[in-house]
Structure 1
């Protein structure tokens, strides 16, 4: 970095940044390159992840909270309302999945641009552009960018929050950085409050425990942002879940009981495109698919060494510290895996990795440079090929699954199960959304009904129970009309309308 940013107030001296704090370049530039990366990310989502791909299970829960298409699904304790509010501008008036996907793809591209822009001056633009490209070309990033899910937005919030925290430490009068800290922390807590705490834990520790970094502005902005984003979740805990402690306890129980549990192997199994690995059994993916996961921490450590030698350790160290705490609960404290859980980790570690790659292809002597550049180019090309292959297979498999729910919903309509109606049983949550019905469960994480209440409701509106072949229907549905719908059995209450030929 050449010169430090100097924005003194009239008649006031600029406070000296803490030892080891980031230096911010006077002329960062490069907005066009960052915008190009974000635009390419948006375009790749629209091309590779079909906008017409139906909504997934969790998506139907979030979207149903604001959609007039179907009654709101049961909202379990771990969930937060951020995604529902994010999709409300579209989902509140349109049932078009394609329109929703396009909206989210555009929004996720804009989010990536904003997150990279925050880091201008802290790292060279070419490093940021490569970091954005590395993060954006992971199959899990492309897959979840246009989805109504919270994890991508926690990742974007994490990048913005750490970057603004460093800028605020470098310049105590940077009000934009303080606002950035608060808003990004609020965004993370808005989406997933526990994740927001894990991501920002190193920032809170540094701001409190390191004397040179004790500044009221960044710390207050961070705490205020976390509280503002989590306020609705906390209030809802007391209104609907029996208190904050009870909601946290219920959330832990639903996720299998949070505690010491090494889930590294589970996450490795999910790298092959398993969007939810629960229970996480079966063989590991091909070693070629997992190779990048082992190389990633090695290159990140190299980035830290390079930053230490260049005497700009703080940005890289904070990025890696926040990436570590973001990954801890999903690598060592949970009994299952989903690749989207680690999106914040991948976003934060992308900058040190990109910094290391740029360094190794530019610093060595002329004789070795062509060999190193060739090896890095081959490695990146192979990595991209693997990511796109996994993405293609995952999109195809997911689209088929969602199409199956749509076919089942159409058949239920034919059988007379039309709104207002209700569904219970196997995969009732997504199938009910596609059908336009309420989803009921008498047990499990989504329990919101009893056999008696379902029986009473069946006297005044169509109710159906979905089971897999070989499973018996619940007692209250044993006398209902049985139908075979694809690979499922459906039991329709006598109150349903007449089947359509």
Structure 2
């Protein structure tokens, strides 16, 4: 049987190393509850997020890199190609969004199972199952699980990396633990290199600065994984972006300039279902929607207190430390918010939170215990109701916007703008993908063309510009045929379509 690390339940003691890390144990834990949680997560995505929902803006950028459906969209400096490679097994031969969603939902469920299983023995299985359920039922987790986006996979890699790092330090199945540490780090760096550094910062500090944690093999596995995952991104920085420093600088500029900026309020505003809060203005969501966000750190702190009292503080401390560093750039260093940015934080914090909740409902409590169990159950039920309500509204709103892009693409085809073609202007990146065109821009974060170049292209293929109703087209398109299509105006290059009054 596979050797596991076994952490005792509250009130018992087992041998541990001098720094508080549990020693390895051969007693296996059950994987069935974890498999059920992961399967439920995948099924919930398929039932609640509608596989037929079209691709979002960022998704079209990632998918277009490997899809024959449309030319590759401009790939800006902050992006990494992990998502494109992740979707390639489906997107490289099929344009079916539903098939891609099913593939990603199943894959994200498998990823959650693997990530939870890494921690089997470090925490009781019932704690891990509850942690998985808490993370999997957040609206943001369900919404992004089946999407071609990187953040869920950073969360999975974070859980794998931190758990395997602990196992490697304790000497538990050393070779497998070292591989897990490296692969978890590589997965994060493959998806979002800067996020990988932030998540692993406590591990790196511990491995270098704490004498009892100075073991070469775990440190080399961690560094090797980070470098392996980020290698393509670093090489591409020198071949296409003017160097690593330039790519990092451009990435910071595109994200509004990274620096001291308290974005906690922005993240709170995004909890109501705003997938991108930029600029993040408007009122706060209802306190019913945001309450869980304030309760989360309190319960996590309780989990730490419980772990200290049970003399098993290291796993909980490391989880919370990595969760904190994962959240720092998105809470204090960026001028806008997207709820998906905090998925790694939520995944790492879910285990201490679940540990605290299990302790609350199982520890001896006399006559007050039934009241406490009722309060916890009622709180969780209310939390789930809020999450599913926000998810339903977010899916409905997102599906509507994606449908609008598809309608505009269909109108472009009707006007004669068919592949090979090019599209500029308002929301040109996703609309171009839907239409099978390339997207071009002369300014902004996605600038990849000049006005002269677009004019030359218009002589050999259909080119169109999309603007808001009544919006002014760029100078090169002012003489082109104009058309109204729903809530946008379309200007089509001379020789394609006909001028309307």
Shorter chain as normaliser: what TM range? Answer: over 0.9
Distance in 2, Cα, partners of 1:173 & 1:29: 15
Structure 2 counterpart of 1:79: 79
Partner residue in 2 for 1:448? 448
Segment of structure 1 superposing worse, 353-362 or 17-26: 17-26
Corresponding residue number in structure 2 for 1:490? 490
Supply the distance in 1 between the matched residues of 2:196 and 2:247 (Cα, whole angstroms): 16
Contact 2:4 2:172 in 1 (8 A): no
Alignment match, 1:351: 351
* Partner residue in 2 for 1:316: 316
Instruction: Tell me the CA shift for residue 4 of structure 1.
Output: 8.1
Q: Give the equivalent residue in structure 2 for 1:390.
A: 390
Please show how residues 102-501 of structure 1 align to structure 2 within 5 Å: 102-171=102-171, 174-496=174-496
For residues 277-305 of structure 1, the C-alpha deviation after alignment (integer angstroms, 9 at most, x for no partner) is 00000000000000000000000000000
Give CA deviations for 1:216-265 in whole Å, capped at 9, x if unaligned.
11100000000000000000000000000000000000000000000000
Structure 2 residue 54 is matched with structure 1 residue 54: yes
Q: Over residues 309-366 of structure 1, what are the superposed CA-to-partner deviations in whole Å (9 max), with x where a residue is unaligned?
A: 0000000000000000000000000000000000000000000000000001111323
Hey, what does 2:9 align to over in structure 1?
Answer: none
Q: Is the 8 A contact 2:417 2:464 kept in 1?
A: yes
Residue of structure 1 in register with 2:20 after alignment? 20
CA contact (8 A) 2:307 2:313 kept: yes
Q: Is the 8 A contact 1:25 1:122 kept in 2?
A: no
Deviation at 1:18, TM superposition (A): 5.3
Quote the Cα distance in structure 1 between the aligned partners of 2:431 and 2:5. Answer: 55
> Does the 8 Å CA contact 1:460/1:495 hold for their aligned counterparts?
no
What is the alpha-carbon distance in structure 1 between the residues aligned to residue 5 and residue 339 of structure 2?
Answer: 39
Query: How far has the Cα of 1:398 moved from its partner?
Result: 0.2
Secondary structure of residue in 2 paired with 1:367: helix
Cα contact 2:45–2:143 (8 A) shared by 1 = yes
Structure 1 residues 496, 336: closer, same or farther in 2, change over 3 A?
A: same
The Cα of 1:190 is off from its aligned counterpart by 0.2
SS, match of residue 76 in structure 2: coil
Work out the CA distance in 2 between the residues paired with 1:415 and 1:106.
Answer: 39
- For residue 386 of structure 1, report the CA deviation from its aligned partner: 0.2
Contact 1:17 1:169 in 2 (8 A): no
- The whole-number CA distance in structure 2 between the counterparts of 1:459 and 1:306 is 71
Q: Is the 8 A contact 1:17 1:171 kept in 2?
A: no
Distance 2:4 2:281 in 1: 52
1-side partners of 2:218 and 2:137: how far apart?
32
Who is 2:29 aligned against?
A: 29
Distance in 2 (alpha carbons) for counterparts of 1:4 and 1:239: 44
**Which deviates the most, 311-320 or 356-365?**
356-365
Separation (CA, whole Å) in 1 of partners of 2:125 and 2:493? 63
Partner of 2:13: none
List gaps (5 residues or longer) in structure 1: 7-15
Structure 2 unmatched runs, 5+: 7-15
Counterpart secondary structure, 2:67: coil
Q: Give 1:469 shift.
A: 1.5
Q: Deviations over 1:180-199 (max 9, x none)?
A: 00011000000000000000
Kindly indicate whether the alpha-carbon contact (under 8 Å) linking 1:458 and 1:495 is maintained by their aligned counterparts in 2.
Answer: no
CA apart distance, 1:423: 0.2
The size of the alignment, in residue pairs, is 488
RMSD between aligned residues: 1.4
Structure 1: 4+ residue segments shifted above 3 A: 3-6, 22-25
Distance in 2 between residues matched to 1:447 and 1:116, nearest whole Å: 42
Mapped partners of 2:18, 2:230: distance in 1: 30
Displacement of 1:497 after TM fit? Answer: 6.1
User: Compared with structure 1, are the counterparts of its residues 5 and 80 closer, same or farther at alpha carbon in structure 2 (3 Å cutoff)?
Assistant: closer
Cα separation, 1, equivalents of 2:292 and 2:53: 28
Distance across 2 between alignment mates of 1:365 and 1:120:
27
Give the TM-score taking structure 1 as reference length.
Answer: 0.96
In the other structure, the counterpart of 1:40 is: 40
The answer as to whether partners of 1:18 and 1:170 remain within 8 angstroms in 2 is: no
| Deviation, structure 1 residue 496 | 2.6
Q: Deviations over 1:107-152 (max 9, x none)?
A: 0000000000000000000000000000000000000000000000
| TM-score, normalised via structure 2 length | 0.96
8 Å contact kept, 1:271–1:285: yes
How far apart are residue 25 of structure 1 and its match? 4.3
Matched with 1:10 is none
